[in-house]
Amino acid sequence: MSETLPSIGELMAATVPMARTLNLEYLETTAERAVVVLPDQSDFHNHVGGPHAGAMFTLAESASGAIVLAAFGDQLGRAVPLAVRAEIAYSKLAMGPVKATAELGRAAAEVVADLDKGERPEFPVEVSITREDGAETAHMTVVWTLRPNR
């Protein structure tokens, strides 16, 4: 009998309390792209009835973490992924459910090559947050590192 490994979404929900609290839905988690949805929930609305900025930040950061796990999960035995810094720009009013789509800003092979050289590589993850009509409501860049285990 073979065991089924948990999906990255299941892993995130089990290990990241904020992702679980916000009921984030992981639609796609590959090394090329992660897509995560924040359902429309009144408990996380702001003063105008849309998702709170903090909930949108957590959504985008969670999408960036999902792609990092998908792209570098095979490196976890020798390095720990850590967010270094993040910047978010809110551009349009968000209402209803919002979707974060994350993509690596640097080739995974380059990052692993730096790790192979004994370096602590940094790499950006670009995240677009969109409404149901497809309009981008925010854009976030999260810079991650793989900290080598000592």
Measured CA to CA, the distance from residue 69 to residue 109 in angstroms comes to 14
CB 97 within 8 A of CB 22: no
- Looking at residue 5, its pLDDT comes to 60
For residues 41-57, give the mean pLDDT.
96
- Is residue 56 very low, low, confident or very high in pLDDT (cuts 50, 70, 90)? very high
**Taking residues 83-104, what's their average pLDDT?**
97
What is the Cα–Cα distance from 93 to 83, expressed in whole angstroms?
26
Coil/strand/helix, residue 109: helix
pLDDT of residue 3: 57
Which domains are assigned to the chain? 8-148 (3.10.129.10)
Question: Which tokens in the block code for residue 58?
Answer: 């957590």
Contact in structure between 103 and 125 (CB atoms under 8 Å): yes
pLDDT value of position 111: 97
Mean pLDDT for the stretch of residues 103-112: 97
Question: Does the structure show a pLDDT above 70 at 133?
Answer: yes
Tens digits of residue pLDDT in 64-92: 999 999 999 999 999 999 999 999 999 99
Is the pLDDT confidence value at 141 over 60?
yes
pLDDT number for residue 4: 60
**Rounded Cα distance, 36 and 130, in Å:** 11
